[in-house]
């Protein structure tokens, strides 16, 4: 039976953020998840009888909310829910299912790289029919609806069995449980030369893929080990756990330190990679060679033609504003356009849909292409493997050759996590007010050429997005960027991005190469005085 439950308004997903992310305990409040899901449905039109994809990254509270979402989809008139065994779907796999099966949209339950478990984070996001994150116009409506919601519709049907493949029915709506990996694997087979990668592993090439007890475990086992012949055990932490084994499923040098240490040791394999909670991020480390995500994007763009899916070349590329400009140099050489967008995958969607770009990425370990409308961790790993299988050189040699050809964009991000939100906002306001007087300021031998608060005009839909980060550009193209995170769940996180281009001096240690700019960035914003922090929490 379908029920109308009366409820009270709340403040849901802030417009412009990718989903609603809060502590599990917040989501466990009565009606909380229901309110948000109904606010999403109330913003959509014309979905009666249509398909909704529902899945999540397996974190704590996933199963409960999937059952709730299914009951609510039925009560709201969807014709079919498509989900996967255990309700488990990586974000890129969900994006693919939406596209492949022509779904109206999808609900993805994840807080991405944020920790999980009863005291961890939970999240709900909506992806539209193109498979991509809801555009700003829609997230604005979700937010408005959360503030005026008065009731939600839900069926009182029993839980669906998510562990058995096949179809069942509730309130006349079909619920279909499919294998989470097989459609995604088929897509990867169309893009990459599986035979060449198989031959690479046969030749003795070794990989370690750290799934961080998150969603990519089953995908890694099936594709890397079973299909491509990497030895069993190549995929570690491959069983998704509700609390990610107590770890933080963020594939960076802090949270994937064990992988990093192994890759820097004599007994390390040839190639190391990791992915995050929901499977959209990637970390790439060669033997004795860490690859920054910004460099990885540039390298993948420069070598993409070696993979069958990209053999005809790239239409264009895009990077988020704080991402290093390394990929721009590749684009220039290839004679294609490089677009600069605000942080967040949704800004790539229109460019991908319009066929203006084929590949895109962010400094935060996100890379992807037009095969789906999300960043895709395992895809990046497979593209790297395809390139390695064709070039038969080490990661370190490929990286060094790339720098020799294009020069090196030294790059680092300094995060100050969980700082006082008011202090962080005051710091940003101070910088904003200071912008007009920054020209000519010195950082070592460099002088500020331009400074602005980044804004973006979307040439596809004509929309404008302002206040996307303080951007200070020096006379040699070096950059210092400040922005506040939109994904944290406690206090504010200040991100400072530092970049310096060197055409010839290629072998410096990153922090040393950036030291003048780091000193400038800290001094200009009085970070220590304003936040009480003399050092960042995380340096990547
Ligand atoms: C962070 C990253 C951003 C990424 C976003 C979502 O956002 O910086 O590049 O798109 O996370 O990634 P912020 O606002 O905290 O800087 V994920 O893996 O959470 O889907
Ligand atoms: Co993610």
Last residue of a domain, one of 373, 388, 406: 406
Q: What is the pLDDT of residue 259?
A: 97
List the beta bridge partners of residue 366.
281, 362
Indicate whether 369 and 483 sit together in one domain.
no
Q: Is the pLDDT of residue 321 over 80?
A: yes
Please give the structure tokens belonging to residue 127.
């992806």
**Ligand 1 near 18 CB (within 6 A):** yes
d(CA 247, CA 110): 15
Q: Position of tokens 């996967």? A: 84
**Ligand 1 near 231 CB (within 6 A):** no
Q: Is the pLDDT of residue 194 over 90?
A: yes
Residue range 95-124: mean pLDDT, rounded? 96
Q: What is the pLDDT of residue 68?
A: 97
d(CA 479, CA 498): 6
pLDDT greater at residue 197 or residue 2:
197
d(CA 280, CA 258): 20
Considering every ligand atom, which ligand is closest to the CA of 214?
Answer: 2
- Give the structural domain span for 145: 2-180
CA 159 / ligand 1 centre spacing (Å): 33
Express each pLDDT in 18-45 by its tens digit.
Answer: 788 999 999 999 999 999 999 999 999 9
Number of Cβ within a 10 Å radius of residue 240: 27
State the alpha helices, DSSP H only, in 150-229: 182-191, 194-202, 216-220
Q: Is the pLDDT of residue 101 over 80?
A: yes
CA 374 / ligand 2 centre spacing (Å): 9
Q: Is the pLDDT of residue 15 over 70?
A: no
Number of Cβ within a 10 Å radius of residue 258: 14
Express each pLDDT in 258-278 by its tens digit.
Answer: 999 999 999 999 999 999 999
**CA angle in degrees (0–180, nearest 5) for 137-140-141:** 90
**Ligand 1 near 323 CB (within 6 A):** no
Which residue owns the Cα nearest ligand 1 atom 2? Answer: 364
- C-alpha distance from residue 157 to each of 49, 168, 398 (Å): 18, 12, 56
Considering every ligand atom, which ligand is closest to the CA of 493?
Answer: 1
Active site residues: 112
Q: What is the pLDDT of residue 422?
A: 95
**Ligand 1 near 57 CB (within 6 A):** no
**Ligand 1 near 296 CB (within 6 A):** no
Q: What is the pLDDT of residue 90?
A: 97
Q: What is the pLDDT of residue 5?
A: 87
What burial class does residue 337 get, using C-beta atoms within 10 Å of its C-beta: 0-12 exposed, 13-18 middle, 19+ buried? Answer: middle
Return the DSSP state at 436. G
Phi, psi of 161 (to 5 degrees): -85, 105
Considering every ligand atom, which ligand is closest to the CA of 114?
Answer: 1
Phi, psi of 57 (to 5 degrees): -90, 10
**Ligand 1 near 487 CB (within 6 A):** yes
The proportion of the chain whose per-residue pLDDT surpasses 70, expressed as a percent, equals 100
CA 58 / ligand 2 centre spacing (Å): 13
pTM value is 0.95
Residue range 125-154: mean pLDDT, rounded? 93
Please give the structure tokens belonging to residue 14.
């802030």
Q: What is the pLDDT of residue 436?
A: 94
Indicate whether 199 and 131 sit together in one domain.
no
Mutate to test the pocket of ligand 1, among 368, 419, 487, 537 (most ligand atoms within 8 A of CB): 487
d(CA 310, CA 379): 13
Distance of CA 232 to the CA centre of its chain: 27
Q: What is the pLDDT of residue 426?
A: 96
d(CA 368, CA 241): 25
Number of domains in the chain: 3
Q: Residue 490's domain is classified under what CATH number? A: 3.30.310.50
Indicate whether 343 and 422 sit together in one domain.
no
Indicate whether 516 and 432 sit together in one domain.
yes
Describe the crossing of helices 395-406 and 377-391 by its angle, rounded to 10 degrees.
Answer: 90
Q: Is the pLDDT of residue 72 over 70?
A: yes
CA 97 / ligand 2 centre spacing (Å): 17
Describe the crossing of helices 377-391 and 182-191 by its angle, rounded to 10 degrees.
Answer: 40
Indicate whether 282 and 159 sit together in one domain.
no
Residue range 369-377: mean pLDDT, rounded? 98
Which secondary structure element, helix H or strand E, spans residue 365, and what is its range?
Answer: none
Q: What is the pLDDT of residue 16?
A: 65
Q: What is the pLDDT of residue 11?
A: 78
Mean pLDDT of the chain, nearest integer: 95
Please give the structure tokens belonging to residue 453.
């608060």
d(CA 403, CA 299): 10
Which residue owns the Cα nearest ligand 1 atom 19? Answer: 112
Residue range 54-77: mean pLDDT, rounded? 97
d(CA 540, CA 530): 22
Residue range 346-354: mean pLDDT, rounded? 95
CA 377 / ligand 2 centre spacing (Å): 9
**Ligand 1 near 281 CB (within 6 A):** yes
Which residue owns the Cα nearest ligand 1 atom 20? Answer: 112
Express each pLDDT in 203-236 by its tens digit.
Answer: 999 999 999 999 999 999 999 999 999 999 999 9
Which residue owns the Cα nearest ligand 1 atom 1? Answer: 487
Residue pair 236/210 in contact by the 8 Å Cβ criterion? yes
Residue count of the chain, please give it: 540
The residues near 181 (Cβ < 8 Å, ≥ 6 apart) are: 93, 218, 219, 222, 223
The residues near 512 (Cβ < 8 Å, ≥ 6 apart) are: none
Q: What is the pLDDT of residue 496?
A: 98
The residues near 36 (Cβ < 8 Å, ≥ 6 apart) are: 12, 13, 20, 124, 142, 146
Considering every ligand atom, which ligand is closest to the CA of 366?
Answer: 1
Ordered strands of the 271-274 beta sheet: 235-236, 207-210, 271-274, 283-286, 289-291
Indicate whether 120 and 210 sit together in one domain.
no
Q: Is the pLDDT of residue 99 over 70?
A: yes
Indicate whether 396 and 424 sit together in one domain.
no
Indicate whether 500 and 369 sit together in one domain.
no
Q: What is the pLDDT of residue 12?
A: 75
State the alpha helices, DSSP H only, in 192-303: 194-202, 216-220, 257-263, 293-303
Residue range 235-241: mean pLDDT, rounded? 96
Cα within 13 Å of Cα(239), Cβ side: 2
Where residue 10 falls among pLDDT bands split at 50, 70, 90? confident
Nearest ligand 1 atom to the CA of 114 is 19
Express each pLDDT in 322-331 by its tens digit.
Answer: 999 999 999 9
Last residue of a domain, one of 406, 436, 466: 406
Which residue owns the Cα nearest ligand 1 atom 5? Answer: 344
Express each pLDDT in 420-459 by its tens digit.
Answer: 999 999 999 999 999 999 999 999 999 999 999 999 999 9
d(CA 450, CA 460): 27
- C-alpha distance from residue 349 to each of 284, 426, 432, 461 (Å): 24, 32, 29, 11
Mutate to test the pocket of ligand 1, among 248, 366, 412, 488 (most ligand atoms within 8 A of CB): 366
Residue pair 339/321 in contact by the 8 Å Cβ criterion? no
Residue range 55-80: mean pLDDT, rounded? 97
Indicate whether 392 and 267 sit together in one domain.
yes
d(CA 2, CA 76): 9
**Ligand 1 near 343 CB (within 6 A):** yes
Residue range 529-538: mean pLDDT, rounded? 94
**Ligand 1 near 280 CB (within 6 A):** yes
Number of Cβ within a 10 Å radius of residue 190: 10
Q: Is the pLDDT of residue 136 over 80?
A: yes
Residue range 275-283: mean pLDDT, rounded? 97
Ordered strands of the 337-341 beta sheet: 337-341, 316-320, 359-362, 366-369
d(CA 73, CA 75): 5
Where residue 490 falls among pLDDT bands split at 50, 70, 90? confident
CA 487 / ligand 1 centre spacing (Å): 6
DSSP 317-330: EEEETTS-THHHHH
Where residue 530 falls among pLDDT bands split at 50, 70, 90? very high
Q: Residue 139's domain is classified under what CATH number? A: 3.40.120.10
Q: Position of tokens 């693919």? A: 96
Indicate whether 394 and 382 sit together in one domain.
yes
pLDDT greater at residue 10 or residue 528:
528
Nearest ligand 1 atom to the CA of 91 is 20
Indicate whether 423 and 386 sit together in one domain.
no
Q: What is the pLDDT of residue 96?
A: 98
Residue pair 53/98 in contact by the 8 Å Cβ criterion? yes
Last residue of a domain, one of 373, 406, 439: 406
Indicate whether 27 and 158 sit together in one domain.
yes
**Ligand 1 near 276 CB (within 6 A):** yes
Q: Is the pLDDT of residue 64 over 80?
A: yes
């Amino acid at each position: 039976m379908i029920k109308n439950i009366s409820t009270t308004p709340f403040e849901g997903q802030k417009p412009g953020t990718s989903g609603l992310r809060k502590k599990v305990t917040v989501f466990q409040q009565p009606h909380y998840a229901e309110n948000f899901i109904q606010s999403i449905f109330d913003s959509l039109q014309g979905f009666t009888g249509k398909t909704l994809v529902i899945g999540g990254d397996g974190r704590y509270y996933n199963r409960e909310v999937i059952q709730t979402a299914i009951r609510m989809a039925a009560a709201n008139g969807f014709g079919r829910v498509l989900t996967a065994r255990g309700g488990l779907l990586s974000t890129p796999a969900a994006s693919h299912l939406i596209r492949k099966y022509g779904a109206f949209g999808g609900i993805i339950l994840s807080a991405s790289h944020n920790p999980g478990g009863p005291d961890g984070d939970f999240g709900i996001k909506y992806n539209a029919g193109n498979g991509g994150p809801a555009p700003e116009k829609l997230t604005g409506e979700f937010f408005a609806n959360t503030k005026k919601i008065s009731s939600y519709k839900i069926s009182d049907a029993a839980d669906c069995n998510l562990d058995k493949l096949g179809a069942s029915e509730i309130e006349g709506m079909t619920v279909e449980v499919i294998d989470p990996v097989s459609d995604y694997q088929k897509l990867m087979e169309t893009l990459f030369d599986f035979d060449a990668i198989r031959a690479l592993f046969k030749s003795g090439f070794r990989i370690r893929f750290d799934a961080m007890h998150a969603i990519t475990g089953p995908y890694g086992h099936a594709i890397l080990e079973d299909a491509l012949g990497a030895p069993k055990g190549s995929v570690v932490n491959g069983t998704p756990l509700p609390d990610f084994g107590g770890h933080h499923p963020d594939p960076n040098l802090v949270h994937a330190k064990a992988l990093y240490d192994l890759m820097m040791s004599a007994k390390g394999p040839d190639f190391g990679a990791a992915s995050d909670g929901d499977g959209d991020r990637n970390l790439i480390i060669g033997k004795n060679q860490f690859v920054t995500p910004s460099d990885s994007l540039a390298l993948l763009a420069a070598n993409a033609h070696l993979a069958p899916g990209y053999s005809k070349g790239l239409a264009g590329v895009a990077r988020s504003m704080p991402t290093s400009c390394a990929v721009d140099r590749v684009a220039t050489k290839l004679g294609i356009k490089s677009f600069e967008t605000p942080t967040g995958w949704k800004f790539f969607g229109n460019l991908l849909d319009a066929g203006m770009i084929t590949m895109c990425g962010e400094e935060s370990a996100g890379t992807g292409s037009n095969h789906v409308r999300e960043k895709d961790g395992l895809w990046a790993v497979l593209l790297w493997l395809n390139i390695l299988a064709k070039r038969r050189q080490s990661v370190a040699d490929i990286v060094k050759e790339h720098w020799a050809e294009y020069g090196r964009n030294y790059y680092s991000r300094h995060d100050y996590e969980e700082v006082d939100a008011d202090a962080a906002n005051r710091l940003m306001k101070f910088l904003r007010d200071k912008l007009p007087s920054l020209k000519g300021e010195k950082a070592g031998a460099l002088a500020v050429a331009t400074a602005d608060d980044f804004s973006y005009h979307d040439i596809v839909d004509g929309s404008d997005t302002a206040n996307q980060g303080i951007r200070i550009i020096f006379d040699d193209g070096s950059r210092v960027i400040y922005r506040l995170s939109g994904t944290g769940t406690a206090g504010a996180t200040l991100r400072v991005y530092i970049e310096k281009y060197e055409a010839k001096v290629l072998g410096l240690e990153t922090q040393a190469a950036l030291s003048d700019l780091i000193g400038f960035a800290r001094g200009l914003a009085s970070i220590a005085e304003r936040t009480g922090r003399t050092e960042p929490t995380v340096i990547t």
